[in-house]
A and B are shown apart, each in its own frame.
Chain A
Amino acid sequence: MKIINLKKEFEEKIIKDTLTVLKNGGLVIYPTETCYGIGADATNPKAVEKIFQYKGQWRGKPILIAVASKQMAQNYVKINEIAENLYQNFLPGPVAVVSKSEGKVVSDIESTTHTLGIRVPNYPLVLKIIKAFGKPITSTSANPSGKKTPYSLEDILKYTSKKRLGLIDLFLDAGKLPLRPTSTVVDTTLNEPAVLRQGEIVIPDIPGQTFVSNSEEQTKLIAQEILEKYKNLLISKPLIFALQGELGSGKTQFAKGLGQALKITSNIPSPTFIFFREYPYKIASNQGIFYHLDTWRMEKGEEILDLGFKKMLGPTNVVAIEWLQKVKPILEEISQKTKVCLVWVTIEILSETKRRIKYQI
């Protein structure tokens, strides 16, 4: 194992030596803003095999990869709106974003459901190396499975067997790193971001928020407030409000609030029986149609397509869907293929008069 002291060597030389190791399918231990990570060419099966040998972990457990930028990430995963948000707000930084894999890395490092976690380490030298390499490298902590998370060369030497140390070609020594927890891993392939591993960064409901409503009137006002935030997007794409909540939670009240914000004066009754109702609207910045849908009487989500759902998705239109569980997969597919802004709204019954309203894009 060759050790390069980063404080004493020229950057060009460090990068050149590291690339040589990576290109030959070797392993490099490198510093990040959290702990030391171990890197190998994520597209080289032999290199990845060595990582598994070093880590000693079972194959089903996915391994994160590090890329230099969101542009680079796009070659390897499908970035949806939730992921987009995280990239914008947290990367580079100690957050790993899990998205659907494009299948361009060694499949063993993907999850069994073909998702892939991506890091953009907030460590300029590492980003330069990855950029120069032009391919992602693995980004797992540099300790064998079950051993102490390494923050220094000593940590590694102390807790790793000689046999395993023999697999490592290069150690980029930045000294003792601050004891920061490992990255927060967020799965964005579900309809709400799910934190798979909590690190230092706590993902707030970005850019969403949670409200508590004490009455039907307040639920309507909250709906208006949420619409207000996204109203400007209507110039280029439709807004879809996916309303989740059990019977009697106030989904229709929320839709009524959207109608009020759109200055629709007619009554907005439940569309349960009729499946959907349409209301033309006109506000200062825009005009379009407000569609209010309800899948309660549908057996399968696909039926929404027979109602002409895709035609409803013209820019400037606002769509509210009650009982969206049935159409969730369709919505997710559409939101990836079509230009839409999908707002997930969850209404939870806290008591007879209280509701918790959460929203997220």
Chain B
Amino acid sequence: MKKNFTILAIDTSCDETSAAVTDDDHVLSNIVSSQVEFHQKYGGVVPNIARRMHQQLIKPVINEALKRAGKTIDKIDALAITVGPGLAPALEVGISTTKNLAAEYQLPIIAVNHMEAHLLSAFAKNSKGNGAFSKINSQFPILGLLVSGGHTQLVLMKNFGKYQLLGETVDDAAGEAFDKVAKMLNLGYPGGPIISELAKQGKPKYELPIPMIDSKNLNFSFSGLKTACLYKLQKIPQKQKNRQFICDFSSSFEKAVAQALTIKLKSAIEIYQPKQIVLGGGVISNITIRREARKVASKFGLRVFVPYTQKLFTDNAAMVGVCAWYQAQCGDFVKDISKLDRQPNLSFTP
């Protein structure tokens, strides 16, 4: 395969419309039409707006990604597109746009698993070649912990393209629990990041159950913690719910989530003895969760790798481009573009 393989990557898996240009594993541009303004303006993510925005924004986002990368489309070697998991009607917008571009410019397509892209986000490097793995080589097996609004997964990576799903949430994702508890605390939507901020000013005074602590598998569950928060908050009189209380409660909740994640991370390390740990997903922005994960890993003498920029934590197309580059090296291109379709329930298959 040629050097400097340039990919235009697109991701429309749920709320975000994103496009990126990557050169091998170097990110040249990564445009995310973050719709947080829409969340706040309209009080929640609105699928019709989300979808219409994908349709309206996808062209401008692609053009911006090319422009920022200093590329024109004739310099692109391949297109990468997220085919799942995700929201079916949202995925469709990205896929149909990609098919049209492929036909118009005679480009091959690489179909990408959104969660695999999150897993490989730590392997991304910036345009100067700096990234989490720029000075250290990857050593397999690598254990991945992916935590976001829609997913909470532990994945064993035996090599690029070789994965085993070890555990995932059986009910709510960790990020969803953050948003729902934030709603209980009247912090608006999406309140997860606000909880993380407030937790910094609080102490974990309140005792909350650590979900799935006794379970013998590597799955997660956050709906029990959510319900425990609800009962706890119902018992506390309204006038006691001042700012300090909210900070302390946020800190307590965050600690419970971090423990739920790290207990399973620890078990997975013991069972599968990975050489390295990678983290991915929007909830990884939470510093307590990152710190606790590092603590656990260091007990086993393991290093934890996170993407070089926060922009790679949440949904974005650069991680899709990097993932696609690894796939391209194995010749993993879409053979029959006409048959390319969304896979909303796509998972890691061994």
Residues of A within 8 A of B (CB): 247-248, 252-253, 266-267, 269-270, 272-279, 296-300, 302-303, 305-308, 352
Contact = CB atoms under 8 A, between A and B. Distances in A.
B307 interface: no
A85 B14 CA distance: 41
B188 interface: no
A274 B14 contact: yes
Interface stretch (B120-128, B163-171, B290-298, B325-333): B163-171
Contacts of B223: 248, 252, 270
B47 interface: yes
B48 A303 contact: yes
Which of A270, A274, A277, A305 has the largest number of chain B CB atoms within 10 A?
Answer: A274
A253 B172 CA distance: 11
Which of A270, A296, A302, A307 has the largest number of chain B CB atoms within 10 A?
Answer: A270
Interface string B151-187: 0000000000000000011111101100110011000
B45 A297 contact: yes
Contacts of B230: 247-248
Contacts, number: 86
B141 interface: no
B87 A272 contact: no
Contacts of A266: 345
Interface in B30-54: 42-48, 51
* Closest A-B pairs by Cβ, 6 of them: A273-B150, A248-B227, A306-B48, A273-B149, A270-B172, A299-B44
A247 B225 CA distance: 12
A296 B45 CA distance: 9
Contacts of A274: 14, 85-87, 150, 344
A275 B173 contact: no
A308 B170 contact: no
Interface of B: 14, 42-48, 51, 85-89, 148-150, 168-173, 175-176, 179-180, 183-184, 189, 223, 226-227, 230-231, 344-345
Given A269-B168, A296-B180, 6 more contacts: A266-B345, A276-B87, A279-B345, A303-B48, A307-B87, A307-B89
A112 B84 CA distance: 51
B47 A248 contact: no
A266 B344 CA distance: 14
B231 A352 contact: yes
A306 B88 contact: no
Given A247-B226, A278-B344, A297-B189, A273 B44 contact: no
Contacts of B150: 273-274
Contacts of B47: 275, 298, 303, 306-307
Contacts of A352: 227, 231
20 contacts: A247-B180, A248-B223, A248-B227, A269-B172, A269-B173, A274-B150, A274-B344, A275-B47, A275-B87, A278-B88, A278-B345, A297-B45, A298-B45, A298-B47, A299-B42, A299-B46, A300-B46, A303-B47, A307-B47, A307-B89
Contacts of B189: 297
